[in-house]
Amino acid sequence: MFAIFGHGNVAGLGEALYAARAELPTLRAHNEQAMAHAAIAFAKAHRRRRLLACTTSIGPGATNMVTAAAVAHVNRLPVLLLPGDVFAGRQPDPVLQQVEDFGDPTITANDCFRPVSRYWDRILRPEQLMASLPAAFDVLTDPASCGPVTLALPQDVQTEVAEFPASFFQPRVHRLRRPGPDVGQLTAAANRLRRARRPLVIAGGGVHYSLATGDLRRFAERHDLPVAETQAGKGALPWNHPCAVGSIGVTGSSAANALAAEADVILAVGTRLSDFTTGSRALFQSPDLALLGLNVVPFDAAKHGALPLVADARRGLDDLEAALDGWRAPGDWIATARRLMADWNRAVDDATRPMEATPPTEAQVIGAVNRAAGPRDVVVCAAGGLPGELHKLWRASDPDGYHLEYGYSCMGYEIAGGLGVKMAKPDRRVFVLVGDGSYLMMNSEIATSVAMRLPIVIVVLDNHGFGCINRLQQACGGAPFNNLLVDSGASTSFAIDFVAHAKSLGASAEPAKTIADLESALARARDAACTSVIVIETDASATTAAGGAWWDVAVPAESARSQVNAARAAYTEARRRRRTGR
């Protein structure tokens, strides 16, 4: 349990947690959103097999967690949120921090959690827990409906006495449900795959959550299938596996994207097929393409007009393998995939090669951290330009070695997420890569990691603003405006001492100017007993040119600036390549 106490949970739930502190340890964080991020990362690192609860006061303490609830909702990750609420009896209303709806007295700030919760309830009587708590855990542990649960707890209800049957407290084991495919859907998918001349597999996060990485590897090897990976699916195959073709989509490798453009059958396993994976529905270009959606969630299995194969990823792959009965993809197709991947690996080597020029690129920093990390170490990131570079360039050798929150791409997740991963995997080194923009948004859990004696290595890439969005702004024809500090009206001499700031939170910290400096600092930080922060200035304009695909970011149809009009013309042309229909 993570808790930040205030009125609304300190007197009721706080007293209960104190009494139960030996059996249910309560952890103290510094920011409500951050503690929920840490809890989400903890669950993701455990592949949804373990979870944490988070409790807050009413008002801003509660609504601080709404963003984190959205992170968990989009990424299909379990977290139990227990925000304090106003008085169910309403006698003292309006209380401090209460949000009042003039026409509906049942509405409180905690109604904000409704659209970003898989299950939501307000406990108005203690006995309601006998129905809501088991239902909540059914959601938290279900592979299809998994996501955040919010149980709002009015402060007066928390302090009431109620009787519960002893049976309510008996341990309950939630076993992983592995639904198998419908025979008709399985037959249709196998028949279409057998006719494929250019098949491609896309591995998503569901492969990890189903513990199916070994099954995917065997499936790909036996059928000579190239496998591309989404952000959540990265690491499903080791980067140097003969069937691996790297990342796919907007932040994809040139190998995976070239194969995706030609593929006549795409088997999407455990992915929700977001716009970054499909190149905003413009990446898959074959006119005779058949999309097969193997997913435990029917909503995801049928996306984009896919032929659905609703099943657990492991069970679906195993049954599909049996149905294919020894079929193998054409040899020239896998040979093409391996040639393209060899070219891509040379591009990765070029992008990440250490150079002494300053400031270095994000790619060069990633290369240095990747070389410093062991095969079981974990890299954590979330937002900005770094996730794209990591998706392309990071070489993951272990299924648990790549931890990106890119469903919601939430700035501020990085450091808190690194703490959650370290809580889940204390025997692994955790490297957090974070831009200066995200660092400034949420850095408080550096202090929490120090207090909990859970050391993580944080590399802050300082490009003096929001470099990623500055590049996107200009790619859309916009003038540099309000993203980099120099373009925001701030003094050009304005600078932030991230090293001093990190030290003030209890971490050891040092600057690095060159890649050689960074490598030396990483060597010192790897086995440090305390959280380490390394700050390096990076080039705000440079990004890896190789790979990638179109991303639909709408450009104004009218502008007084010629650059915007030119970008609009290019945008209109690019949209013509997008697949239509479902």
pLDDT at 439 over 70: yes
The helix or strand, by DSSP H or E, that contains position 512, with its residue range, turns out to be: strand 508-512
d(CA 522, CA 459): 9
What would the DSSP string read from start to end of 138-183? HHHT-TTT-SEEEEEEEHHHHT------GGGGS----PPP-PPPPH
The pLDDT > 90 percentage for the chain reads 95
**Across residues 459-482, what is the average pLDDT?**
94
Give 253's pLDDT tier (boundaries 50, 70, 90). Answer: very high
Question: Chain-centre distance of CA 574, in angstroms?
Answer: 28
- The answer to whether the beta carbons of residues 247 and 225 sit under 8 Å apart is no
CATH code of the domain made up of 353-537: 3.40.50.970
Question: Among candidates 454, 415, 453, which has minimal Cα distance to 434?
Answer: 415
Domains of the chain, residue spans: 2-169, 183-344, 353-537
pLDDT tens digit sequence for 86-98: 999 999 999 999 9
pLDDT at 573 over 80: yes
CATH code of the domain made up of 183-344: 3.40.50.1220
d(CA 474, CA 485): 16
Same fold, 2-169 and 183-344: yes
Give 582's pLDDT tier (boundaries 50, 70, 90). Answer: low
pLDDT at 357: 84
pLDDT at 52: 98
pLDDT at 494: 74
Question: Among candidates 191, 186, 198, 185, which has minimal Cα distance to 226?
Answer: 198
In terms of C-beta density within 10 A (0-12 exposed, 13-18 middle, 19 or more buried), how is residue 314 classed? buried
Give 579's pLDDT tier (boundaries 50, 70, 90). Answer: confident
Give 391's pLDDT tier (boundaries 50, 70, 90). Answer: very high
pLDDT at 426 over 80: yes
pLDDT tens digit sequence for 510-525: 999 999 999 999 999 9
pLDDT tens digit sequence for 191-220: 999 999 999 999 999 999 999 999 999 999
**Across residues 5-22, what is the average pLDDT?**
96
- The answer to whether the beta carbons of residues 225 and 335 sit under 8 Å apart is no
The pLDDT > 70 percentage for the chain reads 99
pLDDT at 493: 65
pLDDT at 247 over 70: yes
Which stretches within 463-560 are classed as H helix?
Answer: 467-475, 498-504, 515-525
pLDDT at 453 over 80: yes
pLDDT at 489 over 90: no
d(CA 46, CA 51): 8
β-partners of residue 459 are 433, 534
pLDDT at 487: 87
pLDDT tens digit sequence for 97-149: 999 999 999 999 999 999 999 999 999 999 999 999 999 999 999 999 999 99
Give 560's pLDDT tier (boundaries 50, 70, 90). Answer: very high
pLDDT at 166: 96
Query: 2-169 is classed in which CATH architecture?
Result: 3-Layer(aba) Sandwich (3.40)
Integer angstrom CA distances of residue 111 from 61, 77, 120, 247, 367: 14, 20, 9, 38, 44
pLDDT tens digit sequence for 534-559: 999 999 999 999 999 999 999 999 99
Question: Among candidates 472, 402, 159, which has minimal Cα distance to 481?
Answer: 472
Give 570's pLDDT tier (boundaries 50, 70, 90). Answer: very high
pLDDT at 578: 87
pLDDT tens digit sequence for 314-368: 999 999 999 999 999 999 999 999 999 999 999 999 999 998 888 999 999 999 9
The helix or strand, by DSSP H or E, that contains position 224, with its residue range, turns out to be: none
As a whole number, the mean pLDDT across the chain is 96
pLDDT tens digit sequence for 52-84: 999 999 999 999 999 999 999 999 999 999 999
pLDDT at 581: 60
d(CA 569, CA 573): 6
Cβ contacts of 32 within 8 Å, gap of 6 or more: 4, 54, 56, 61, 62, 64, 65, 68
User: E strands of 320-412, at which residues?
Assistant: 378-381, 402-404
